[in-house]
Structure 1
Amino acid sequence: MASWVISIAFLLLIAALVLSFIRLVQGPSLPDRVIALELIALITTAFILVYAVAVDVPAFIDVALVLALTGFMAAIGFARFLERGGNPK
């Protein structure tokens, strides 16, 4: 039972990744592209977590945690850039 659930999770994550990449390429403004990039980082984190469950290696959860924190720090950096009058276009 778990194998088909993991397969469906991977397929849904692939679909979300493709749609996020399309938004990254087509985004009309810089904030749209940054949000798409943040979403790609989140989806990659989810990939790592699902893979950790699939292969039963809990060490990959630490990798996913580091990736999530890095994505969060990038979002904070972009917000500070816009706050200080950066060009959002």
Structure 2
Amino acid sequence: MSSPEISKISWGSMKVSGQVYKDCKVWPGGSRTWDWRETGTNHHPGVQPADVEEVLKKGVRTLVIGRGMNEALQVSLSVITNMNSRGQCRAV
């Protein structure tokens, strides 16, 4: 199964397979809006393990976490530690 095509990225907007999002999660076979309020995510401390769990459960082998146009969104160390300890994917 292939990942949806990300055809355009601009400030506050991503176009994925014809659907426009402000923030989104994309995985092979699908995508959806990413509402930071679901897990209480903020720019700092950033992406939390709960934010990536849904995508990891889809069986992805490569996970790319975009940090935004100004790279203001952080990725918490717990995300990297959690991913590496699972052996599911390698975070660097």
TM-score by length of 2: 0.30
- Greater share of residues in strand: 2
Higher relative contact order (CA 8 A, sep 6+): 1
TM-score by length of 1: 0.30
- Greater share of residues in helix: 1
